[in-house]
Amino acid sequence: MAFPMASTGGAEVLVASNRGPVSYQLREDGSLHARRGGGGLVSGLSAIGPDANAVWVCAALGDGDREAVRRAEGGRLPAGETGGQQVRMLDIDADVFADAYNGIANSVLWFVHHMLYQTPLEPVFDAEFRRQWASYQAYNRAFAEALAQEAGQGAVVVIQDYHLALAPRMLRRLRPDLRIGHFSHTPWAPPDYFRLLPDDIAAELLSGILGADHAAFLTRRWADAFVDCCHAVLGPGIPAADPSSGGTRIGVHGLGADADFLRKRSHEPDVGERMAALREEIGEGRKTIVRVDRTELSKNIVRGLLAYRQLLDDHPEWRERVVHVAFAYPSRQDLAVYRDYTAEVQRVADEINAAYGTPGWTPVVLHVKDDFARSLAAYRLADVALVNPIRDGMNLVAKEIPVVSDEGCVLVLSREAGAYEELGEDALVVNPYDIGGTAEALALALAMPVDERAERCKRLAEAATALPPAAWFLEQLGALGG
């Protein structure tokens, strides 16, 4: 039996996420170097002001983080290292964390919601899966207990993403006085695919999120899929529409680009230096097709490269007149399937350059080292932005490039990106599996008249910035009466 847990922290607003706003590097001399992060949650928390008594609960992700937790004796980190934010970092057992994060969150839940399984061979839900699931439960329980300790009476708690799907229900049992929200940053799988999961696990995940007063998603499509899964797995009438009767409100908050930050940051000197270097790599007078992604399986980078090769075959007039600037930053390289995918991206790019390149023209300029300033430089130079994910909760790159582009760019956008819901009208929309169709969209984009391109880009930028990170976060608080 679970008993209510008394508060020791008194925070009025709490955020919970796997990754926090600060990370630590343990140096050889034993000192810790703190590096502050960015993103929508950081912007959102800053929007509520320093007097809001807000606390961020996150996990220690590496040895530096774990040492920082030890030095803070398990309490809040020094505010001077976190940009002034109150942060409670959890030193969850390393093996438990690895099972929960890589074994379940990234190798099961991510694959289900992005529909990435090769079903003749996977998934296999065996005894090892059950062992890892117990770690996922323990990881969520650690967050729920920390939140219960930190929250003041009646506080607002916003729990983020698929790593913490069980935490709302666990926290509700510990602290029934709290107003709890859960936000999903991924797509949500339709019932037929979601039910690949064992029945009890599917029910536990849905019930976990339904422990929240407000369950929110990036698009109406993903929200509807969640509700459909609840009906299919838990039964008709769940979730109940009326939270006062124990139901959960379902919301949609479409995270937008932070225009002010992006425009300011993209005109700083280091970005100008990267632009000059990229122009030299591209060559004078050539058009650019730009993509910026992690080498995440769902981003569909390989098919994007194949579509570009098809463009060069079907429209030879573009040879030596266009360059595909592809930034593919390695992701989750501790998982073999991601290492293999990153190697395949490199192989296909090399193959295109070997087949079509000339002494004065490199068809694909591929960079695999993460460099935010260089990404912004590419945004500014883009004539065409290629965003063709197999499936994506939103895809902020699709929103950021039109905001930053100097001359206005054409967006070639997958209909399976969450951003399609807001940007589809002014983008060239593609089926991400259709290489020929994507190649034709690229050809149309390259040939689009300048005035049409500029007008489309202007409308895309307006739609992309409709709900910037601070407003997005405040909407979530507002939905909880915060």
What pLDDT, on a 0 to 100 scale, did the predictor assign at position 81?
86
Distance CA 162, CA 183 (A): 9
What pLDDT, on a 0 to 100 scale, did the predictor assign at position 52?
77
pLDDT in tens, the chain (482 residues): 344 555 566 889 999 999 998 889 989 888 888 888 766 677 677 777 667 789 999 999 999 999 999 999 989 999 888 878 899 999 999 999 999 999 999 999 999 999 999 999 999 999 999 999 999 999 999 999 999 999 999 999 999 999 999 999 999 999 999 999 999 999 999 999 999 999 999 999 999 999 999 999 999 999 999 999 999 999 988 887 555 556 899 999 999 999 999 999 999 999 999 999 999 999 989 999 999 998 889 999 999 999 999 999 999 999 999 999 999 888 777 778 888 999 999 999 999 999 999 999 999 999 988 889 999 999 999 999 999 999 999 999 999 999 999 999 999 999 999 999 999 999 999 999 999 999 999 999 999 999 999 999 999 999 999 999 999 999 999 999 86
What pLDDT, on a 0 to 100 scale, did the predictor assign at position 3?
44
Query: Residues near 240 by Cβ (< 8 Å), separated by ≥ 6?
Result: 246, 247, 248
Query: Residue 374: beta bridge partners?
Result: none
Distance CA 96, CA 127 (A): 16
pTM value? Answer: 0.94
Q: How far is CA 44 from CA 91, 258, 272, 391, in A?
A: 25, 11, 28, 26
What pLDDT, on a 0 to 100 scale, did the predictor assign at position 2?
46
What pLDDT, on a 0 to 100 scale, did the predictor assign at position 5?
56
What pLDDT, on a 0 to 100 scale, did the predictor assign at position 334?
75
What pLDDT, on a 0 to 100 scale, did the predictor assign at position 11?
87
411, 398 in Cβ contact below 8 A? yes
Q: Which residues of 86-123 are buried (b: 16+ CB within 10 A; e: fewer)?
A: bbbbbbbeeebbebbbebbbbbbbbbbbbbeeeeeeeb
Count of positions (residues) in the chain: 482
What pLDDT, on a 0 to 100 scale, did the predictor assign at position 265?
95
Query: Residue 23: beta bridge partners?
Result: 35
| Nearest C-alpha neighbor of 114 from the set 194, 49, 59, 48 | 194
